[in-house]
């Protein structure tokens, strides 16, 4: 590939990054630029599903709708090597057993394919699949350039995930004032938007002690029983009570994690403890678990702290509503009791 062509690719990416477009449109523009300047047939960006078993369509260029919607793309079967963090080239898609839909490749006119992982701080979150109409071997220089492009795409996707969660958390917590519903919405949205393995929330009383009010999503009952039972022994959650997000990179090995045995059985990688509220008034702790070890950036920690404050406000509102409702019900009960007793006295 000529240096001038390479420069034009990065100019297009830079222009897209600086324009007011959403992430899907950005990825579509990147795909178009890659197809044009690398003389490809198509480019397809797919992200791992929350359970990391399926690759979900996000953006593409040069490929037909029939091909894009050909069926579920299984992560383990079609891009297992790429999910380990390596770019994988397939010269003949019609015969290579690593290709899941060989007949669809032939019908689409795809001869060769290069799969480049989208990596974010040590974790593969998806892939960029580049297809050619004629058999083609990509040079080392081309693969290196495409891996740099993929890193830009991965960064854009991560920012998209963390910013979309803000609007979704707001929408979810405004939809109900019932405390259980609010907590259920929080753990569900966090898991879905961050593609996390699981999320658990434990509320605290005025003395910062765990209450019986808790909610979780994506985690087994056996793991949760052990996790919730070790709140007072957990150094990470204790640090979160001071008002800051606490990431634990390797849950199964960290000596400050009292539930390491359960974490190994659950196959969790990292955990991020997020205080719900500010240091002087933390109403609970949300713990986000990942499939593989994941190093959260400073920007991500700041954003999660903001989400924690927003969730705390929703929890306090739900608690206040619940208290008001109980007081109202008490007044109604008192009135009904008084009214019933008043009926027993004879009228003058």
Give me the tens of pLDDT residue by residue for the chain, a chain 348 residues long.
545 666 666 666 666 555 555 788 888 988 998 898 889 999 999 998 888 888 899 999 999 999 999 988 887 666 777 877 889 999 999 999 889 899 999 999 999 999 999 988 778 889 999 999 999 999 998 898 899 889 888 888 887 887 788 888 888 777 777 888 888 999 999 898 888 999 999 999 988 899 989 999 999 999 999 999 999 999 999 999 987 899 999 999 999 999 999 999 999 999 999 999 865 789 999 999 999 888 888 888 888 888 898 888 888 887 675 565 665 565 555 555 665 555 555 555
Based on the fold, state whether residues 71 and 144 are members of the same structural domain: yes
Full DSSP string of 275-321: EEEETTEEEEEEEEE-SS-----HHHHHHHHHHHHHHHHHHHHHHHH
Q: Decide if 346 is inside a domain.
A: no
**Where among 102, 133, 160 does a domain terminate?**
160
CB neighbour list of residue 18: distance below 8 Å, 6 or more residues apart? none
Distance in angstroms (rounded) separating the CA atoms of residues 26 and 16: 6
What is the structure's pLDDT at 33?
A: 87
**The domain containing residue 100 runs over which residues?**
3-160
Distance in angstroms (rounded) separating the CA atoms of residues 123 and 103: 31
**Where among 125, 160, 195 does a domain terminate?**
160
CB neighbour list of residue 232: distance below 8 Å, 6 or more residues apart? 210
CA end-to-end span of the chain: 104
* CATH code of 10's domain: 3.30.450.40
Three-class secondary structure of residue 263 per DSSP: helix
Q: Decide if 166 is inside a domain.
A: no
Distance in angstroms (rounded) separating the CA atoms of residues 20 and 8: 20
Based on the fold, state whether residues 203 and 153 are members of the same structural domain: no
Number of domains in the chain: 2
Token output for 330: 């008490």
Distance in angstroms (rounded) separating the CA atoms of residues 13 and 31: 10
Distance in angstroms (rounded) separating the CA atoms of residues 123 and 53: 15
């Amino acid at each position: 590939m000529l240096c001038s062509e390479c420069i034009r690719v990065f100019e297009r990416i830079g222009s897209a990054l600086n324009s007011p477009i959403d992430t899907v449109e950005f990825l579509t523009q990147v795909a178009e630029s890659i197809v044009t300047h690398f003389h490809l047939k198509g480019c397809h960006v797919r992200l791992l599903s929350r359970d990391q078993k399926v690759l979900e369509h996000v953006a593409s260029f040069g490929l037909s709708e029939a091909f894009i919607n050909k069926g579920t793309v299984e992560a383990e079967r079609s891009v297992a090597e790429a999910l380990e963090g390596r770019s994988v080239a397939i010269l003949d898609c019609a015969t290579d057993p690593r290709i899941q839909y060989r007949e669809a490749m032939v019908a689409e006119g795809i001869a060769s394919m290069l799969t480049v992982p989208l990596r974010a701080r040590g974790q593969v979150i998806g892939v960029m699949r580049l297809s050619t109409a004629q058999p083609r071997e990509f040079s080392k220089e081309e693969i290196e350039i495409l891996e740099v492009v993929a890193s830009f795409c991965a960064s854009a996707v991560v920012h998209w995930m963390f910013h979309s969660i803000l609007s979704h958390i707001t929408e979810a917590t405004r939809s109900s004032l019932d405390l259980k519903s609010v907590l259920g919405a929080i753990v569900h949205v966090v898991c879905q938007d961050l593609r996390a393995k699981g999320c658990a929330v434990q509320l605290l009383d005025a003395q910062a002690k765990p209450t019986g009010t808790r909610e979780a999503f994506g985690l087994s009952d056996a793991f949760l029983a052990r996790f919730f039972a070790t709140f007072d022994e957990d150094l990470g959650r204790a640090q979160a009570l001071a008002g800051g997000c606490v990431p634990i990179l390797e849950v199964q090995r960290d000596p400050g994690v009292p539930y390491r045995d359960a974490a190994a059985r659950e196959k969790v990688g990292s955990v991020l403890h997020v205080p719900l509220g500010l240091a002087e008034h933390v109403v609970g702790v949300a713990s986000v678990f990942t499939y593989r070890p994941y190093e959260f950036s400073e920007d991500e920690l700041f954003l999660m702290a903001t989400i924690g404050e927003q969730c705390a406000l929703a929890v306090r509102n739900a608690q206040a509503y619940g208290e008001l409702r109980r007081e109202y019900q008490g007044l109604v009960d008192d009135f009904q009791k008084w009214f019933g007793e008043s009926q027993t006295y004879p009228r003058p």
